[in-house]
Amino acid sequence: MSEALIVIDVQNDFCPGGALAVAGGDEIVPVVNRMIEAFDTVVLTQDWHPAGHSSFASTHPGRNPFETIEMPYGPQTLWPDHCVQGTPGALFHRDLVWNRGQIVIRKGFRAAIDSYSAFRENDHETPTGLAGYLRERGIARLTLAGLATDYCVAFSALDARTEGFDVTVRLDACRAIDLGGSLATMLERMREAGVTLA
């Protein structure tokens, strides 16, 4: 029980046809399902935004998706409306065997702050409680998979390292947005932080 799998945001809006589709996002589902079968401890995360979330470009008149603005907690990329609470886009991909997970961490549910990481919101201070949950269960090693490599997966991996976990990211079970070279940047940041890229 010392190892856990964290499945990041394998939701309809991040898959082809979704509001913020990641190219090939649905291709990882069979790989992730095999990984879920192999782990005793499985955690899933779910983007869970209220309508009118501050990270949505539509909330900022005159702004477009993928622009960056300054928020009280720092730079924030503006996104198309996605993973709105209770909508089909926020649901897990229909083929994901998510019911084997022990806990679902919902993030981004506070209207004024985004949350890429499974561990902390984008102020890099407010915890989700996941680190404590894992420590209570004696978990020391984490394997991460999901969407997207260069945002929610990478920020989760970096925060997990900061929390002292041994972290592996399974790149074959991830897909990236790669916005302006973000994939290369975040792969390097993960390597520098001691994340194993497998």
From 166, 161, 168, 164, select the one nearest 145 (Cα to Cα): 168
Q: Is 47 a catalytic residue?
A: no
Write down the catalytic residue from 13, 15, 83, 107.
107
118 vs 157: CA distance, rounded Å: 9
Q: Is 83 a catalytic residue?
A: no
**What pairs with residue 144 in β-bridges?**
6, 169
Q: Is 150 a catalytic residue?
A: no
From 121, 131, 137, 118, select the one nearest 165 (Cα to Cα): 131
Write down the catalytic residue from 26, 47, 114, 152.
152
SS3 letters across 17-65? CCCCCCCCHHHHHHHHHHHHHHCCEEEEEEECECCCCCCEHHHCCCCCC
CB atoms under 10 Å from CB of 6, counted, come to: 29
Write down the catalytic residue from 9, 13, 114, 159.
9
Q: Report CA torsion sign: 56, 62, 65, 68.
A: negative
- Which residues form the catalytic set? 9, 107, 152
